[in-house]
Structure 1
Amino acid sequence: MREIKLIVIHCSATREDHPFTEHDLKIAHRLRGFDGIGYHFYVRRNGNIKSTRQVERVGAHARGYNTNSIGICYEGGLDCHGIAKDTRTEWQRHSLRVLVRALKMDYPEAQIVGHRDLSPDLNGNGEVEPMEWTKECPCFEVNMEKW
């Protein structure tokens, strides 16, 4: 069994006005050279939680952190103009909470972070600030959620 230190929350970086199924996600990841979907879980707009990769398998979702992490992605993250936005539906918010809480029962020491929180601390002050983000994913403050 892998040692899990992180639960990393992602968005699919797709527009809120266009569906992006797990099949679409699989094609996108295969085109990037992955052997299937890199995230362990995918949360659709209707709140359905899709298991997309066995937790025992190392993911392909956060370079440098995959060995000891679980990746969760929610469908969306961009507004209808393609601008980063927290597009989570109430169903997604609920399902993310349920999923994270269940994972924390199995991995109580795991820290919950957003993908952008894994950006390098460029100014060395011990905090990854918005100006240092290499991407905006997951488009909301993970540490402000009540998991």
Structure 2
Amino acid sequence: MSANDIKYLVLHCSASRCNEDYSVEQLRRDHKARGFYDIGYHFYIRKDGTMTQHRMLLEVGAHARPYNRCSIGICYEGGLDEQGKPCNTMTTEQETRLIDLFRNLKILFPKAKIVGHRDLPGTTPKECPCLDAVSWAAHHHLD
């Protein structure tokens, strides 16, 4: 995969409840149980804003088949309210970190579009990332 191949910066949520922790270790275990060799996202952002990288930027991810070869996957912890319903649960710390990450990625991949997993046709139907990523990016002048 080359920098020219990157067409999308795909936002995901972990589909975990806002009042529960979903650690990197849990994410790794769940992804390995799905047959991935490790976490499929390139980046994971915890509720406190801590960000970890799990794939090299130009390494093919495992997060939005059939778009894995032309995208970078970013996941924020959360996406479900306390009752388990889809909801934008992003904390201020997550949002700050995500804005900074997207700004840096847009420097590297200026033609890439910021989208949510649910915005990609042909992927498994989901609510993910439980917010309108395209409008969110426009609101923050990231598009």
TM-score norm. by structure 1 comes to 0.88
What is the alpha-carbon distance in structure 2 between the residues aligned to residue 26 and residue 52 of structure 1? 10
The count of aligned residue pairs is 135
Q: Which residue of the partner structure matches residue 119 of structure 1? A: 121
- Name the counterpart of 2:126: 135
Which residue of structure 1 lines up, in the alignment, with residue 33 of structure 2? 31
Work out which of the residue numbers 82, 85, 109 in structure 2 matches 1:83: 85
User: Secondary structure, in 3 states, of the residue corresponding to 2:48?
Assistant: coil
Aligned position for 2:110: 108
Q: Which runs of 5+ in 1 are unaligned?
A: 121-132
Output the amino acid matched with 1:6.
Y
User: How far off is 1:119 after superposition?
Assistant: 3.3
Query: Helix, strand or coil for the counterpart of 1:99?
Result: helix
Q: Specify the SS of the correspondent of 2:63.
A: coil
Aligned structure 1 segments of 4 or more residues deviating by more than 2 angstroms? none
Cα deviation for residue 141 of structure 1 reads 0.9
Q: Classify the secondary structure of the residue corresponding to 2:37.
A: coil
Q: Write out aligned runs for 1:8-47 (5 A).
A: 8-47=10-49
- TM-score, structure 2 length as denominator? 0.91
Q: Following the alignment from structure 1 to structure 2, what is the Cα–Cα distance between the partners of residues 70 and 24?
A: 21
1:144 to 127, 135, 139: 135
Deviation, 1:75, is: 0.2
Letter in 1 for 2:119: D
How big is the alpha-carbon RMSD for the aligned residues of Structure 1 and Structure 2? 1.2
1:129 corresponds in structure 2 to: none
